[in-house]
Amino acid sequence: MEYKFPSGFLWGAATSAHQVEGWNFNDWTEWEKTNANRLAKETRMEFQEWQQEKFPEMFEPKNYISDHACGHYKRFEQDFDIVKELGQNAHRFSIEWSRIEPEEGKFDEREIEHYQLVIKALKERGLEPFVTLWHWTLPIWLAKKGGVRNADFPKYFEKYVKKMVEVLGRDVKYWLTINEPEIYSLNSYYRGRWTPQKKGILNFYFSMRSLMKAHKRAYRAIKKITPLSMVGGVCNLSDFKSSEGVVNAILKILFERFWNHRYLRRVHHQLDFIGLNFYFHNRIDYGINKNKKEVVSDVGWDTHPEGIENVLANLKRYDKPVYITESGMADKEDKYRRWFIEETLKAVSRALERGVNIQGYFHWSLLDNFEWDKGFWPRFGLVEVNYKTMERRIRPSALEYAKICKNNSINL
């Protein structure tokens, strides 16, 4: 049986500036330089033997330096040709704040022009731009002032956002303010794994609070300048399932409330749509993440694509359009990606049948790219990147995804 997606459904893939562009200068590039040796050493404790054997590059400090990344800053036109060839009609990317405002209050006109060209290149190929305004990297001057934890962070963000909307707003309908505030706060301000490596529940709380305020300010600013634009936020939500027993059922409700709904409940009046990033499934059994781990990705994450149905159904309460702004898996050999995409999209079709207003799907990612503190070894791309030659090679799963995009349908 064939399932037809609603007409006008957007099909695409996503990237973020720091992970693909190359030649950045921001808080992450500086952190990478001082932490590369440590990260290479810690790998032995963090990853299993099969991962260490499959990806020996994880032991090399240079794996942790983003440097030229995928060179997408210079190759964006060729990369968008691939997107077009793959039958997609939309594309999600992010703007690198540190390029735009390298010094406080000084905007770099040449970099603004760069992103104008990026958007023009997308439009010329019939690709609807979804523009993320902040995907985790900060200009150095702002990081020095305490970044997200500076009480004025929301104001700094608003100023940058206003500038972006003034110069790009004519050609952009869809804006995404902040990527995954909960994942950023968790890793940078609770676990202390990412720059600026702060720890503790209070740090997490204040980081989230600041990002919520920043989102709200950005929303109002964008709508004031371009009232017809659509402004969304991007959350990384989990599928929670509980094993038997009252305790597990209660734990499930609490985790779901805290992780999936705390941010959304607070910002939903300032959202025209919800951006959902889906990767994680959590079985609660007197503890979190007691998963069966039937299919595990290269980074060791349990993949449970059908879980997206449950998460989508739970978003119905907000009564907003939903775009799946990320969903994907690290799979160097492309063994599971086709299965993963198909199972995800079948689950999406079931959620549509259940009345969830889903309007688009963006696979993470278009290209293999720089995966933050793990560096280059995880391969999330529909398109493989040879980091030595910068050559691109379309993976077989991408061709299968292309069929779905072109037909706007999937065989159930």
Query: Which positions touch ligand IFM (CB under 6 A)?
Result: 16, 19, 180, 277, 326, 364, 371
Nearest distance in Å: CB 183, ligand IFM: 7
Nearest distance in Å: CB 370, ligand IFM: 8
Nearest distance in Å: CB 301, ligand IFM: 8
- DSSP assignment, residue 318? G
Would you tell me the crossing angle of helices 201-225 and 153-168 to the nearest 10 degrees?
A: 30
Whose Cβ is closer to ligand IFM: residue 326's or residue 342's?
326
Whose Cβ is closer to ligand IFM: residue 349's or residue 369's?
369
Whose Cβ is closer to ligand IFM: residue 75's or residue 135's?
135
Beta carbons of 272 and 320 less than 8 angstroms apart? yes
- Taking the C-alpha atoms of residue 241 and residue 10, their distance in angstroms, rounded to an integer, is 29
Whose Cβ is closer to ligand IFM: residue 277's or residue 349's?
277
| Burial class of residue 145 in the structure, from the number of CB atoms within 10 Å of its CB (0-12 exposed, 13-18 middle, 19+ buried) | middle
Whose Cβ is closer to ligand IFM: residue 19's or residue 88's?
19
Containing H/E element for 361? Answer: strand 358-364
Whose Cβ is closer to ligand IFM: residue 21's or residue 326's?
326
Whose Cβ is closer to ligand IFM: residue 147's or residue 275's?
275
Nearest distance in Å: CB 284, ligand IFM: 22
- Taking the C-alpha atoms of residue 305 and residue 281, their distance in angstroms, rounded to an integer, is 9
Nearest distance in Å: CB 92, ligand IFM: 11
Helix (H, G, I), strand (E, B) or coil at 138: coil
Nearest distance in Å: CB 326, ligand IFM: 5
Nearest distance in Å: CB 330, ligand IFM: 8
C-alpha torsion sign, points 393, 394, 396, 397: positive
Q: Please provide the distance, in angstroms rounded to a whole number, between the alpha carbons at the two ends of the chain.
A: 5
Containing H/E element for 307? Answer: none
**307: its two tokens:** 């879980």
Q: Please, where are the H alpha helices in 22-152?
A: 27-46, 49-54, 72-85, 97-100, 109-124, 140-144
Whose Cβ is closer to ligand IFM: residue 77's or residue 373's?
373
Containing H/E element for 373? Answer: none
In the numeric block, the tokens 């280059």 are attached to 376
In the numeric block, the tokens 């676990």 are attached to 191
CB within 8 Å of 259: residues ≥ 6 apart: 182, 237, 238, 240
The count of residues in the chain is 412
Nearest distance in Å: CB 395, ligand IFM: 17
